[in-house]
């Protein structure tokens, strides 16, 4: 019985550590995913300076998103976003209709 309790405590500690680590590094993981996904999907360099995710607030803030132009175009950048924010109503994530109360692009 004592062994079972020790195993359960160890599992709880591991789960808490994984969740805490994920929440701590979520911005870094999201930044890398956006850069990699954008580059792979578009075939040109995609760079993001910073992203800040707020799960409880249902919000994402982006700073300096740059998408390069393919070779042969006069401009180096196809798209540059200085700052952006998108907010989602967390309660609508499980509904058929997604409620987006705030989108800001600058």
In angstroms, the CA 42 to CA 28 distance is: 21
Query: Global pTM?
Result: 0.75
Paired with 54 in beta bridges are: 59
In angstroms, the CA 25 to CA 12 distance is: 20
pLDDT given for residue 91 in this prediction? 85
pLDDT given for residue 85 in this prediction? 97
pLDDT given for residue 4 in this prediction? 86
Residue tagged 């079972």 (tokens)? 4
What confidence tens digit (pLDDT) does each residue in 68-89 have?
999 999 999 999 999 999 999 9
């Amino acid at each position: 019985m004592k062994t079972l309790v020790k195993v359960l405590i160890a599992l709880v500690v591991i789960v808490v550590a994984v969740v805490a680590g994920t929440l701590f590094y979520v911005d870094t993981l999201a930044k890398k995913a956006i850069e990699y996904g954008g580059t792979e999907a578009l075939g040109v360099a995609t760079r993001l300076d910073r992203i800040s995710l707020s799960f409880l607030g249902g919000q994402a803030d982006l700073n300096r998103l740059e998408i390069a132009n393919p070779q042969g175009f006069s401009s180096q950048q196809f798209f540059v976003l200085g700052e952006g924010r998108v907010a989602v109503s967390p309660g609508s994530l499980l509904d058929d209709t997604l409620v987006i109360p705030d989108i800001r692009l600058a």
